[in-house]
């Protein structure tokens, strides 16, 4: 159990719910916008909102080359690339499948912090949890060793998010969460705009109200608000603890996908979800306190 105030846990629950619903809203946005435009507009709206927040709070945007370099790396690798992969994948897999496969992020965070940085303890219990969770991912993707194609793209995006999570904690602990969020998302827009234009995807067809509102939600809540909270928790609790929210997102995503989008789950998919959640219970059996997770 992560320690914190009642307000911390309420904000964490809000962030988790927002991101769990983002797969549903992405599916709606894709009904009128191509994947590249979904990501670009989402990031542009978030950057505009966060820019206002930074200015209203009197925060200064860093000008040191090293810090700007870190933000540019994160904008490309922690925002632009993984969100593009994830949104492209949602044209081929259901939102329910995407939200469950995305639950691999905290596992990747732990593996990076443990094997790469030696900042987390690698225990038998956690190894069992990781193995169980990945077995569930394979089962969900098709069984056996058939984890390939677009399901693999979702898992790859999770690995990129995990890397950015740890990188942010290690390289930018001195910045305010609002500045981190604004810097990364603004950098993502700078990366996405030329790529979207050069690939011929800077176009919009007939825009219907529901997809437009869904895209606005993705910018305002799933990007601007959620990342303000997320970077706050990374700095307060550490990389692994902050990323655990992705294990809880499937409950929201599956509910919306099943009830609103009518995405039926097969028996194998429900079994896979059960295996993944069992992995979560095993992986999280060791108590995760801010003091221990902070090093990650």
> How many independent structural domains does the chain possess?
1
Neighbours of 57 (CB within 10 A): 10
- Considering the chain, what is the average pLDDT of its residues? 86
Q: How confident is the model at residue 142 (pLDDT cuts 50, 70, 90)?
A: low
- Which pLDDT score, from 0 to 100, does residue 133 have? 81
The span from the CA of 179 to the CA of 48, in Å, is 13
CA distance 211 to 60: 35
In a domain, 1, yes or no: no
Helices 226-237 & 149-171, crossing angle to 10 degrees? Answer: 60
pLDDT of residue 120: 63
Q: ∠ CA 201-207-213 to the nearest 5 degrees?
A: 105
State the virtual CA torsion across 247, 188, 211, 141 in degrees, nearest 10. Answer: -40
Cα distance between the two ends of the chain = 17
Q: Which domain holds residue 241?
A: 6-293
CA distance 4 to 240: 15
Q: Give residue 226's pLDDT.
A: 96
Which tokens is 108 given?
Answer: 């990747």
Contact yes or no for 61/54 (Cβ under 8 A): yes
Give the range among 23-27, 29-33, 194-198, 249-253 with minimum mean pLDDT.
249-253
Q: Is the residue at 223 inside a domain?
A: yes
Asked if residue 111 belongs to a domain, the reply is yes
This prediction's pTM = 0.87
Could you say which DSSP state residue 200 is in?
Answer: T
Q: What band does 145 get if pLDDT is binned at 50, 70 and 90?
A: very low
């Amino acid at each position: 159990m992560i320690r914190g105030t009642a307000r911390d846990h309420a904000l964490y629950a809000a962030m988790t719910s927002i991101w769990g619903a983002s797969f549903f809203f992405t599916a709606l946005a894709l009904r009128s916008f191509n994947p590249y435009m979904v990501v670009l507009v989402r990031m542009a709206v978030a950057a505009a909102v966060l820019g206002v927040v930074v200015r209203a709070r009197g925060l200064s945007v860093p000008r040191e080359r090293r810090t700007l370099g870190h933000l540019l790396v994160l904008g490309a690798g922690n925002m632009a690339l993984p969100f593009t992969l994830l949104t492209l994948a949602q044209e081929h897999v259901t939102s329910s499948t995407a939200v469950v496969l995305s639950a691999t992020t905290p596992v990747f965070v732990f593996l990076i912090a443990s094997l790469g940085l030696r900042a987390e303890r690698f225990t038998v219990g956690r190894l069992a949890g990781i193995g169980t969770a990945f077995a569930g991912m394979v089962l969900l993707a098709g069984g056996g060793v058939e984890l390939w194609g677009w399901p693999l793209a979702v898992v790859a995006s999770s690995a990129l998010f995990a890397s950015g999570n740890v990188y942010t904690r290690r390289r930018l602990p001195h910045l305010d969460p609002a500045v981190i969020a604004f810097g990364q998302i603004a950098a993502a827009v700078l990366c996405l705009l030329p790529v979207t234009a050069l690939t011929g995807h800077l176009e919009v067809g007939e825009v219907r109200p529901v997809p437009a509102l869904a895209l606005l939600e993705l910018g305002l809540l799933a990007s601007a608000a959620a990342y303000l909270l997320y970077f706050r928790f990374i700095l307060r609790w550490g990389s692994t603890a902050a990323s655990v929210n992705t294990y809880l997102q499937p409950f929201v995503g599956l509910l919306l996908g099943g009830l609103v989008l009518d995405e039926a789950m097969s028996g194998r998919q429900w079994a896979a979800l059960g295996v993944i959640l069992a992995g979560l219970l095993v992986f999280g059996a060791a108590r995760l306190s801010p003091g221990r997770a902070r090093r990650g």
